[in-house]
A and B are shown apart, each in its own frame.
Chain A
Amino acid sequence: MMDLSKKIQPSTSSPLQPHEQTQEGLTDSKKDKLLSFDFDQPAFSTAALAIPLSAEALTIETACTSCNPYIICGAVLAVSAYCAIDYLSSHTEYINDAITTISSGFDFTVLDRNKEGSVDPGLPTNPDDILNRPGWKETTHPEAGKKGHRTFENEKTGEQYRHDQGQSGETGHEAKDHYHHLTPNGRGGFNYLDANGREVPKGSDPAHIYPGR
């Protein structure tokens, strides 16, 4: 989980592919999990039997006068519900995802699934390697460094790279190591660049730059 640097080598514009695949792979696997209940499991088999059994219990009402068919029906349903809960309890991760979906009416597990960023193969996966390039110094604020945000500046050009370390439990770009490339705009501020050095809006998808994989 690391990256960063100045494009010493001119970047090629190809590589959206690898990251795109990674992002899609992650989110799709999550979705797969949501759909991965095994309906051949005993609990589901029991549940599947419960309804016909309950119906049958009702039909034998006249034959079994000593037993209330509604009690039989209730008991069968209770057993099947218990089995289903027991099975689901061993799949907590899926349950949490499912609850998120059900309670909100929107699947937040796929939040940001379309974020792809841009890729600069010239950036190192380890941001420390930027310091090997002439003119670059680390100017990370100590408190920012503790939170996984490092800043590198070029003394001559005033350019900056910020490296954000991916945070576990987060989604989108915040979950993955990435860089930002800033260049002075001549008015005391900075512009954000994409992997090909083109000016892009701050916070835009291509302003999140990933190193070559």
Chain B
Amino acid sequence: MHKMDISQYTSFFHDGEVIAIDHKENNIDFFIMSAEIDPSCVKDIVLSKNNVLRGKLHIEGINFITENGVEFSGVIKMKLSENDLLHLKIKENILFCEIGWRGSKPFQNDFSALEIHAQKIWWENIPDLDDRVL
């Protein structure tokens, strides 16, 4: 498994999507995909057939999490049926991410601004990652 540093490509994840979340103890795997990318803008990383980045963001050894500015000690889950990844940044083993959640009922939405402090954050590029990964 090739461990990649994705921090230079995080801008591409605005308007991407969270496909699944696997939170176990102090590790989280975010299965995510980026927005559409012009292939000429990336180097040394393989895009999926739709010109998006797909893969797993590994967050290991989590020290603490905040959601919308409040310390969070539960398990991070998919809140509603659809979502938009609105922002993603990685700085010195801190993940900053904003997810807009959308339900099937009218006016049903939620929002998570997550800040996750961990010991290690790395990207596993999986161009053929399936939408029903979990």
A interface with B by C-beta (< 8 Å): 104-106, 108, 110-115, 137, 139, 141, 143-144, 146-147, 149, 151, 153, 155, 158, 162, 164, 167, 170-174, 180, 188-190, 201-205, 207-208
Contacts and interface: CB of A to CB of B under 8 A. Distances in A.
Contacts of B76: none
Contacts of A155: 106
Contact of B11 (A106, A111, A158, A202): A111
Given A170-B14, A180-B15, A147 B38 contact: no
A201 B48 CA distance: 14
A172 to B, nearest CB: 6
A114 B86 contact: no
A210 B48 CA distance: 27
Contact of B111 (A112, A149, A207): A149
Interface of B: 8, 11-12, 14-17, 33-36, 38, 40-41, 43, 50, 52, 68, 81-82, 84, 86-87, 98, 100, 102, 104, 106-107, 109-113
Given A139-B107, A141-B111, A155-B106, A112 B38 contact: yes
A172 B12 contact: yes
A12 to B, nearest CB: 24
A144 B15 contact: no
Contact of B100 (A105, A149, A158, A189): A149
A203 B8 contact: no
B15 A208 contact: yes
Given A149-B100, A180-B15, A203-B35, 14 more contacts: A111-B41, A112-B38, A114-B38, A143-B68, A143-B111, A143-B113, A144-B109, A147-B87, A162-B84, A170-B14, A190-B102, A201-B36, A202-B17, A208-B15
Contacts of A162: 84, 100
9 contacts: A112-B11, A143-B113, A144-B111, A162-B84, A172-B11, A180-B84, A189-B82, A190-B82, A203-B34
Contacts of B35: 173, 203-204
Contact of A114 (B33, B34, B41): B41
Contacts of A147: 86-87, 98, 111, 113
Given A112-B11, A141-B111, A203-B52, A149 B98 contact: yes
The 4 closest A-B pairs by CB, nearest first: A188-B104, A203-B35, A174-B14, A144-B111
B14 A149 contact: no
Contacts of B36: 201, 203-205
A155 to B, nearest CB: 7
Contact of A174 (B87, B102, B106): B87
Contact of A104 (B8, B52, B107): B8
Contacts of A167: 87
A57 B129 CA distance: 65
Contact of B12 (A112, A113, A164): A112
